[in-house]
Amino acid sequence: MAGGQAERGAGFSIEQEVKTAKIPLTMTDFKRPIKKAVFPVAGLGTRFLPATKVMPKEMLPINDRPLIQHVFEEAREAGIEDFIFVTGRQKEMLEEHFDFQPELERVLKERGKLDLLKTVQDSEMPAGRLFLTRQPKPLGLGHAVWCAHKLIGNEPFAVLLPDVLIQHTPGCLKQMVDLYSEVGGNVIAVEEVPRAETKNYGVIDTDTPDAKAIPIKGLVEKPEPEKAPSTLTVTGRYILQPEIFKSLSVFETGAGGEIQLTDAMAKLIGEQPFHAMRFDGKSYDSGSRLGFIEANIAYGLKDPKIGAEVMKLLQRYAEQMKEKMDISKAA
């Protein structure tokens, strides 16, 4: 346990269980504030081996901070107060990262590096706000979210996938919370992809794809391009009502033989308000090597301390590539 700040799911007692049989009857029920967020961080990170043999993939750095801190800061900006990590084996480093580091802070203070001291302090989790529970087997995103149900209780909550970074101010989840305050219910972030890529994502079905709050009439997990109902795909950010756990608790498998969150959400459509939102910003699939590199470039360019030098570096590489292409054409 990291400095007493994290609570293990197995020892956490919640008197109010998820009331899966109850469907709220008023819009007030569907607009309760979002104060809890689930971060599924149990994945093995096989696409980054051997880098992730020991280090969790969520600790891989994007510019000056790890993936998990980027999404933590996004959630904190959106008003999240309780941070629930669904972890697996060898994920202790995630817990340590957000803990108080007295030796490091003392050294920074003694050396007068107050800007770095503030950066370190800003990365700390508020006391009593980090909770951890285990996903013992990799049975899918839906199963990972279900593993947090005791910690969520009967409250609406957010889900943020650390692999997906979304660069914008305000952050994607803050944009979603603002929309949620208007429409309530369930809200998911979506973005357009080429039709050929729909087989890699959950895809929404809607009659009004250009609306601010896009009403969802159906969801399909990883459809073949010719069967995809649209090209609007789910993008790693969700606001969900606790009734989702009723569907997840059935442990029904879907695409890839996994328990899919998309399938559970689809069962709530028609019973509760369900909207999608096109967010402002650019997403990066940092769980892939190419997306990871692209994210580092994008965040580096936005960094006020090194952005100009990153641009010069890219220009130098672009010039070298052009020279090689010219030589190749002339040969």
Residue range 188-210: average pLDDT?
92
- Please tell me whether residue 248 adopts helix, strand or coil conformation: helix
**102 vs 107, 108, 123, 281, CA distance in Å?**
9, 10, 13, 36
pLDDT band, very low/low/confident/very high, at 328 (cuts 50, 70, 90) = confident
CATH classification for the domain delimited by 6-287, as one of 3.40.920.10, 3.40.50.450, 3.20.20.220, 3.90.550.10: 3.90.550.10
Q: pLDDT value at position 182?
A: 92
Whether the CB-CB separation of 229 and 203 falls below 8 Å is answered with yes
pLDDT at 234 over 90: yes
- Please tell me whether residue 297 adopts helix, strand or coil conformation: helix
Q: Whole-angstrom Cα distance, residue 141 to residue 75? A: 19
- Which comes out higher in pLDDT, residue 211 or 8? 211
pLDDT at 301 over 80: yes
Whether the CB-CB separation of 108 and 197 falls below 8 Å is answered with no
pLDDT one-digit tens code per residue, 13-41? 333 444 444 444 466 668 899 999 999 99
pLDDT band, very low/low/confident/very high, at 10 (cuts 50, 70, 90) = very low
pLDDT one-digit tens code per residue, 202-232? 899 999 888 999 999 999 888 999 999 999 9
Q: pLDDT value at position 25?
A: 47
Reduce the secondary structure of 101-139 to three states and give it as a string.
CHHHHHHHHHCCCHHHHHHHHHCCCCCCCEEEEECCCCC
**How does the average pLDDT of the chain come out, rounded?**
88
Q: pLDDT value at position 278?
A: 95
Q: pLDDT value at position 252?
A: 75
Q: pLDDT value at position 3?
A: 42
Q: pLDDT value at position 221?
A: 86
Could you tell me the residue ranges of all domains in the chain?
6-287, 288-331
Q: pLDDT value at position 6?
A: 52
pLDDT at 4 over 60: no
Helices (H), the chain: 27-30, 67-77, 92-97, 102-110, 114-122, 141-146, 149-152, 172-183, 244-248, 261-266, 289-302, 307-330
Q: What percent of the chain is predicted at pLDDT more than 90?
A: 67
Q: pLDDT value at position 315?
A: 96
Q: pLDDT value at position 9?
A: 45
pLDDT at 75 over 90: yes
Q: pLDDT value at position 11?
A: 40
Q: pLDDT value at position 26?
A: 61
Q: pLDDT value at position 22?
A: 47
The least confident of 141-145, 234-238, 252-256 is 252-256
pLDDT one-digit tens code per residue, 108-141? 999 999 999 999 998 888 889 999 999 988 889 9
